[in-house]
Amino acid sequence: MYKFYWPVLWQYRAIILDGLLVTLVLFFSGGIAAIVLGTIFGAISAIPSRLARVACEFYVEINRNTPLIVKLFFLYFAFGLEAYPAAIFGLALHQSAYLAEVVRSGIQSISKGQMEAGLSTGLSRAQVMRRIIFPQAFIIVLPPATTQIIETLKNTSVAMTIAIPELTFQTQHIEAYSFRGFEAATAATVIYLLMSFGISAAALAAEWKLRSRRLRAYSVGIDRLAPT
């Protein structure tokens, strides 16, 4: 019977921490790039213009319908990028396509009447977007966007296929040195789980805070309106 040997994790703690650090670097750089790209493409595709919509759809479809590993190999081997840029760029392309869809449907879920009402009170189109549409769309977009952020974290593991020494890669390293791949994989899984639960909890807290703040703002407004 196989005997588990957990102290191996303590022996190789430096390797695991190194991997975690690389994972976090990929997550933050890829994630931020994906949020920026996704918001831009999502906002553009909500514009009522055929050209804008088709261009964004093209971007989204191409990136959503190819596996991340294929994009990474393409950027690394065929396009000739260095490993880190290839991984970050690939992650950003992949996840921004999903985020763009989330942002687009969030914006479109705000009723058209609000834009018309805003315009008729003399605000510019950009002002209505910035002051009225985006704040409301943000709360709607938050939960599905959180799912995508967690996907980004999980997908950083695919970067190991182009030899980036992130967390998953380092568990293979430990397997190669000590044949304790199972223990290493378990530890890494726990680390990933803790991080994704942490992100969900933070997003829930943010959503709750935003909603209660808006609720307060509404009730203050109603107080002012009500005849006293």
Partner 1 sequence: MDVSVILDNLPFLLEGFKTTLELTVLTLCGGLFFGAPLAFARSAQAALPRYFSLAIIETIRGTPILMLIFWIYFLLPRLVGVAVPAYAAGLIALIVFNTAYSAEIVRAGIQSVELSNIDAARAGGLSWFQTARYIIMPQVLSNMTPALLSQGVMVYKTTSLIYVIGVVDFFRAATIIDNREFKSVEIFTFVALVYFIPCAVISRISRKAEMKRAYGFQVGRGV
Which residues are at the interface with partner 1 (CB under 8 A)?
1-2, 61-62, 64-67, 69-71, 73-74, 77-78, 150, 154-158, 160-161, 168, 171-172, 175, 181-182, 185-186, 188-189, 192-193, 196-197
Cβ distance to partner 1 smaller for residue 118 or 148: 148
Q: Which is nearer to partner 1, 136 or 172 (CB)?
A: 172
Q: How far is the CB of 167 from partner 1 (least distance, A)?
A: 8
Residue closer to partner 1 (CB basis): 197 or 208? 197
What is the closest distance, in whole angstroms, from the C-beta atom of residue 218 to partner 1 in the complex?
30
The whole-angstrom separation of Cα 11 and Cα 134 is 49
> Closest CB to partner 1 among 65 and 228?
65
* Residue 96 · residue 38 · CB < 8 Å: yes
Whose Cβ is closer to partner 1: residue 61's or residue 82's?
Answer: 61
- Closest distance to partner 1 from the beta carbon of 124 (Å): 33
- What does the alpha-carbon distance between residue 35 and residue 14 come to, in Å, rounded to a whole number? 31
Q: How far is the CB of 215 from partner 1 (least distance, A)?
A: 28
Judge contact between 153 and 27, C-beta under 8 A.
Answer: yes
In angstroms, what is the minimal distance from the CB of 113 to partner 1? 19
With CA atoms as reference, report the closest residue to 175 among 3, 1, 10, 8: 8
Cα(53)–Cα(105) distance, integer angstroms: 13
Separation of alpha carbons 42 and 106, rounded Å:
9
Closest CA to 29 of 203, 166, 192, 206: 166
63: buried, middle or exposed (CB in 10 Å: 19+, 13-18, 0-12)? buried
